[in-house]
Structure 1
């Protein structure tokens, strides 16, 4: 595998992992009755609509998968989504108060 092939492989793998992170986030939100798009926009108010998130929300409704809150927070932080992880943490705290 030459350098260019290796570089393309790494980029593709990162994109796949990022897509999985978005799917986990969307599923976790839906599992807890939280609007994933609204929460995302509250964490990143200046960003335009996230097409990958819209797709993940559409797909998440098709099957329910249990997502641990701690795991979700770790995954968000690995991808540098600290603002979103903070917003999710606030939602977790609200859920525990109910």
Structure 2
């Protein structure tokens, strides 16, 4: 579920989930869980909002600090 939320947030913010994920985890180029989550995402026009804070809280719950750091960088770029 965490990866699905992350992937949808990326799509909603015009980011490529695989590229963002690889910045946090460069050794996980063939992440099957991310691929499966991408199959469940919808175009941003059809998606509900995924707030920045919601994603960061979910990542924190799972101890995914590396990805949270990269997400925070992307948020600051806006």
Same fold (TM over 0.5): yes
Shift, 1:47, TM fit: 2.1
Q: How many residue pairs align between the two structures?
A: 76
**Which deviations, in whole Å up to 9, do the C-alpha atoms of 1:53-95 show, x marking residues without a partner?**
1111121026412101001001101111100000000000112
Specify which structure has the higher proportion of helix.
1
Q: TM-score, normalised by structure 1?
A: 0.72
* Structure 2 unaligned regions, length at least 5: none
Structure number with bigger Rg: 1
Structure number with the bigger relative contact order (C-alpha 8 A, sep ≥ 6) is: 2
Q: TM-score, normalised by structure 2?
A: 0.89
Q: Name segments (4+ residues, structure 1) moved above 3 Å.
A: none
* Structure 1 unaligned regions, length at least 5: 1-19
Q: 1:53 & 1:21 partners in 2: Cα distance?
A: 10
